Amino acid sequence: MTTTTTSSHDIPVEADLDAAPGLLDGAMSLELTPQQCNLEYWIGAVAQGTLRGLAKGGHRPETPVPDHMLLEGPLRQALIEEFAFRSVAEEKATRALSYLVLHAPDTDTMEFFATQLVDEARHSACFRGHLLELGVGEEELAETVERAAGADVASVLVPLEEFGLPLGRDHGDFIGGVIVITVLVEGVLAPAAELSERKWRLLDPAAAEIERAAGVDEIRHLTVGSSIVKRYLEEHPEELDRVQALITRGRELWGSLPVLDMILRREQLFQQGLADHEDLLADYEIAPGKRLLDTTAEERMMLAATWSLEMQESRLAYMGLS
């Protein structure tokens, strides 16, 4: 495992906030196992590495929330809707991960999922916390999350929860739960997080840094989860058909959910706010050769969808499930 030197100790490069690859590249190229990423790893590489200086708010104290993000308008509303939804998604993931901790087959795997549970709880707290930084009153936070994301939670997250939770809660199906979290949830939502980090990098550097730190965690979650499934199928080839059938049913469910409608609505709000910040964005590129100012809501939505498909196919191939 490659490391990069910090002022106090060595941090594995994939856990370094500044040196780690982007979420897409890291999740599709790195190989990590629960034996590498157990509790000892997390304490040294994540708690004392990735998260150094991020304890309050999920971003560095010197990373600003620009004044324009405190003004009512479509740009602020787009971020409120996005982070409200993400806060609930991460909370639901935290609760679901408790069944993977419960049913993990060995100590390293149990420790890994315990650390992922903490990671997801932290992500949820950071997304909620940034809503406060955007001027949402603490007494209004729960109501704001419900108003901004309640319909999307009901139409997207609840069906996913109803599909995945019974595997661990009712059937003790450890590997089925790993498949749902790794392939059908994080494997689909992670590219949208990558798009979010790139979109907000200049418009709201604090929001982008929150996404960046969460993305560094997700690299580990996706790669370790994939390695667990890969090893399980190598040891239990008789399970291949069942696992493939589960993935097929999960992908069919995803195809029936209004995920693209949700993303497009946010991107349309974001688009309305872009015109007010042409000087700030200037030649900033969201992808090589593609200026953010030149993109449309539909193009950004399709970019995230393309990344999602590429990541899923890459992870499935690695696991022997192409």
Mean pLDDT of the region 103-107: 98
Residue 12's beta-bridge partner residues? 3
Rounded CA-CA distance 267/299 in Å is 9
Domains of the chain: 3-318 (1.10.620.20)
pLDDT bracket for residue 9 (50, 70, 90): low
Cα-Cα-Cα-Cα dihedral sign, residues 306, 93, 130, 60: negative
pLDDT 10s digits, 68-93:
999 999 999 999 999 999 999 999 99
pLDDT given for residue 79 in this prediction:
98
- Please, which residues have CB within 8 angstroms of residue 300's CB and are 6 or more apart in sequence? 195, 199, 267, 270, 286
Give CA angle at 61 (59, 66), nearest 5°: 80
Report the pLDDT averaged over residues 18-47. 94
pTM attached to this predicted model? 0.94
Q: Higher model confidence: residue 311 or residue 15? A: 15
Rounded percentage of the chain residues whose pLDDT exceeds 70: 97
